[in-house]
Amino acid sequence: MLPFTFAGAHAGQRPQSQSAADSAGRARIADDFAAASIVAKDNFAGQVDFNKVTKASITGMLRTLDPHSMYFDRQQWEEFQNDQSSRYYGIGSTIIQHSGKVYIVSPTERTASHRAGLRYGDHIAGINGESTEGWTQAQVRSKLLGPEGTTVSIKISRLGIDKPLEFKLTRGPVPLPSVANYFMVGGGVGYVNLERGFNTTTYDEVNKALTELRQRGMTSLVLDLRSNHGGLVDQAQRVSNLFLYRGQKILSMRGRPGVFPSKEFVANNTSPEEYPVVVLINKFSASAAEIVAGALQDHDRARLVGENSFGKGLVQSPFQLSDGSALVLTTGHYYTPSGRLIQRDYSARSFYDYNLKRGDKNGTHTEEKRTDSGRAVYGGGGIDPDVEVKVRIPQPELELQRVWFDTVFEFAHQLTAGQIQGVSEFKL
């Protein structure tokens, strides 16, 4: 999932016309770009790939605006829209790259890969007659995806079987759920893990999880928004609406005057959930996740635990271009109910510094607001938790985690292939 927050009212709109002066300025820029391209083509020592040149030029232009405005080529835009729709068309397997090869991790139930019997540790050695040697995980994924009803042939190398296995699979819809899991922790505490972003089905998934947990005796909730990169703002509004009373503000949006008018979004729930709520956030919680966390905190509806969040509160509006590509531009800012700006300052930082220092409040607080009960909360640097719990992983431990993963992967790989003796006799 790409970490973008969208305002649905602007989705897919076309660029607007500008004044004659603006048009003349753009014409001069286009002439300069064309002249530079000709010089490069005629004098560069190697071959010039103008598709790459154009894409890099647009990307560079957008990075002078802010860290989140981006350009998608046609294929990237189609993939992004599939991600936002909570489903895509493929064989239905989670894949992972390990030691230069791409493996099946888990087939999704009721998909082509599950029906074919693909399993953990299967090495994808070929696709449609091409060897995957040297391919990245992204390259394998792009070949496995395709229109619904089309077929893809894959060659599987399975541990313990000498000859490769050949499968011809029909691509079909594969769900991309937002809720990773939910369960009762004990003592009436329910837990919902919402780490996979806000997609078209997020509200329905959360509502279903809460309903089932209530039936199991839930009297309080832990809502886990850690590492949730955001997504569709209307889904964040609907999730917030589950816990807020009618008339309580969820967020406001302030755009460029005369272009994108300011808006307020208010809850309309007459019978919201009333049990205590704790929301978990970390430095990777962004955009739509911060909208939910900020709304519940400002109305004293939940206590936030964890780290300061990422600090991305930009209205991201897509503008589709004539060739099927798209620009995603910042057209406004989001504010919490108390008036806190979610977005952290990026004016004095490079693109890379901004993205590396996630959850950094950029120094002292400059914007103090109050919750409904009068508690001080601060804006302009993400969402501060009420109870700070920092997670710091030393570099040696990161290396240990990598070694541990390699060991676990190889053990599970051999175990599923039946190559570890005596497992059937092992009892707990």
Residues acting as catalytic residues? 287, 298, 312
Question: Contact at 8 Å (CB) between 58 and 29?
Answer: no
Question: Contact at 8 Å (CB) between 13 and 317?
Answer: yes
- What is the Cα–Cα distance from 83 to 76, expressed in whole angstroms? 11
Torsion of CA 345, 350, 356, 361, to 10 degrees: -20
Which residues have C-beta within 8 Å of that of residue 105, sequence separation ≥ 6?
93, 94, 95, 96, 120
What percentage of the chain's residues is helix, strand, coil (to nearest 5)? 30, 25, 45
- What is the Cα–Cα distance from 268 to 264, expressed in whole angstroms? 13
Torsion of CA 40, 44, 50, 52, to 10 degrees: -120
Concatenating the DSSP letter of every residue in 154-180 gives: EEEE-TT-SSPEEEEEE-EEEE--S--
In the chain the first and final C-alpha atoms are separated, in Å, by 39
- What is the Cα–Cα distance from 380 to 346, expressed in whole angstroms? 10
Strands 101-107 and 93-98: antiparallel
Q: Which two tokens stand for residue 271?
A: 């019978």
- What is the Cα–Cα distance from 302 to 359, expressed in whole angstroms? 20
Q: Which residues pair with 127 in a beta bridge?
A: 130, 154
Rg (CA), the chain: 25
Which residues have C-beta within 8 Å of that of residue 195, sequence separation ≥ 6?
180, 224, 225, 226, 227, 228
Query: What type of residue is 118?
Result: L
Tell me the backbone φ, ψ of residue 419, rounded to 5 degrees. -100, 5
Question: Contact at 8 Å (CB) between 251 and 237?
Answer: yes
